[in-house]
Amino acid sequence: QAVLMESGGALVQPGGSLTLSCRAHGFVFGTYTMAWFRQGPGTRREGVAGINPPGSTNYVESVQGRFTISRDDASNTLNLQMDNLKPEDTGMYYCAADSRQWGRVTLLSSEAYSTWGPGTLVIVSS
pLDDT at residue number 104: 87
E-assigned strands of 1-126?
3-7, 11-12, 18-25, 33-39, 46-51, 57-59, 67-72, 77-82, 91-98, 115-116, 120-124
Average pLDDT, integer, range 1-5:
94
β-pairing verdict for 46-51 and 33-39: antiparallel
Q: d(Cα 72, Cα 61) in Å, to the nearest integer?
A: 24
**pLDDT tens digits along 62-84:** 999 999 999 999 999 999 999 99
Q: What is the pLDDT of residue 50?
A: 97
Instruction: Reduce the DSSP state of residue 45 to 3 states and report it.
Output: coil
pLDDT greater at residue 68 or residue 53: 68
Average pLDDT over residues 82-103: 96
The predicted pLDDT at position 54 comes to 81
Q: Tell me the per-residue pLDDT of 32-43, one tens digit each, with 9 for 90 and over.
A: 999 999 999 889
Mean pLDDT rounded to a whole number for the chain:
96
pLDDT of residue 103: 87
- What is d(CA 66, CA 29) in angstroms, rounded to the nearest whole number? 25
- Which 3 state secondary structure label does DSSP give 94? strand
> Per-residue pLDDT averaged across 94-109, rounded?
93
Cα 79 to Cα 71: distance, rounded to the nearest angstrom: 6
8 A C-beta contact, residue 24 and residue 2 = yes
